[in-house]
Amino acid sequence: MRHHSDKVTQVSRTLPTPQRHADQVAQAAAQRAGVTVDEVVSPGRLKDVEQLFRTVWETDRDRPPISADVLRALVHSGSYVAAAYTADGRLAAAGVGFLATDVRSAEVGGTESPVASMHSHIAAVAPGTERHGIGSALKLHQRGWAIRRGLRSITWTFDPLVRRNAGFNAHLGAEFVRYYPDFYGEMADGRNAGQGSDRLLARWDLQLPAVPRVAVEPVGDRQRLLEPDGDGRPVAGTIEGDRAWVATPANIEQLRRVDPDLAGRWRIAVRDAMEPLQSGWRIDGFTAGGSYLLVRE
């Protein structure tokens, strides 16, 4: 007759550890996207990564968003530099994360001991390969890497006006935890120059499952704290009740090219609409239609 404790041992053997589970999820995502994701170490491959970021962020040759020598130092000292490659060896995406201190423990006035975390500085897929699951495969690899090292969280900032990135981050299951006006100061690259650098901080708590945080759409005209009018101009509303929706423009990157003044007005309008985050409200996800849902705590 089987002893009770044998049974417990047998069950626990069949359950994957959080590390194994995260790796399995990452491998399945890479397989679906038709890529292999791996850390990048050699100077030649790091140069390709630098070039990919330069292309995506439209920077001059001598001002890459991050240079191959810094990437080399990061990977050498234990941080995260990884890339996705197609079956025929083409570079399809890359991401970089620094070992860091968890933002929550960093912000409680030094009373909590710092907790190891990762700050993901930059991630992009190669132009023309978007929407094939490659970005997700890369982020899930990063997640598995961080969980294997016992890190508490992964954070990254993104421009809250870029609907694509908000949708991507909501799909990954990240929380949106802070709004920073002009986070980097003025930036010089082709995507950001002249448009301020407000950022939302996305955070993956690595102790929670990564499930999409897609919010419900507003019903009717009420509770819309920010909406576009018929000409795509931002129109501010007022707060009614405990929920409010803040819309984003359909394609801010295109708007910045064709009408930088209007794009700048969106920047200010969204910054103003996010003010309640200073007084007891938080972001509870992003809708499929492109709005942040704010809820009163």
Contacting positions for ligand COA (CB under 6 A)? 56, 123-125, 130-136, 158, 164-165, 167-168, 171
Query: Which residue lies nearer to ligand COA by CB, 11 or 87?
Result: 87
The helix (run of H) or strand (run of E) holding residue 76 is helix 68-76
Nearer to ligand COA, 113 or 266 (CB): 266
Provide the token pair at 209.
């499952």
CB of 5 to ligand COA, least distance (A): 44
Nearer to ligand COA, 37 or 221 (CB): 37
Q: Residues 65, 187: contact at Cβ < 8 Å?
A: no
Q: Which residue from 124, 119, 111, 12 is spatially nearest to 57, judged by alpha carbons?
A: 124
Site of tokens 């009614």: 240
Q: Supply the minimum distance, in Å, between the C-beta of residue 83 and ligand COA.
A: 13
Between 133 and 144, whose beta carbon lies closer to ligand COA? 133
User: Quick check: 193 and 264 in contact, CB under 8 A?
Assistant: no
Q: Which two tokens stand for residue 77?
A: 């000292």
Nearer Cβ to ligand COA (114/232): 232
What is the closest distance, in whole angstroms, from the C-beta atom of residue 169 to ligand COA in the complex?
Answer: 6
What is the closest distance, in whole angstroms, from the C-beta atom of residue 258 to ligand COA in the complex?
18
Return the structure tokens found at 230: 């018929």
Residue whose tokens read 């890359």: 94
Residue closer to ligand COA (CB basis): 141 or 171: 171
Cα distance from N-terminal residue to C-terminal residue, the chain: 54
Closest C-alpha to 189, from 65, 296, 49: 65
Q: Which residue is nearest to ligand COA (CB)?
A: 135
Q: Minimum Å distance from CB 294 to ligand COA?
A: 20
Spatial CA neighbour of 229 closest among 265, 271, 280, 197: 265
Q: Shortest approach of ligand COA to residue 10 CB, angstroms? A: 37
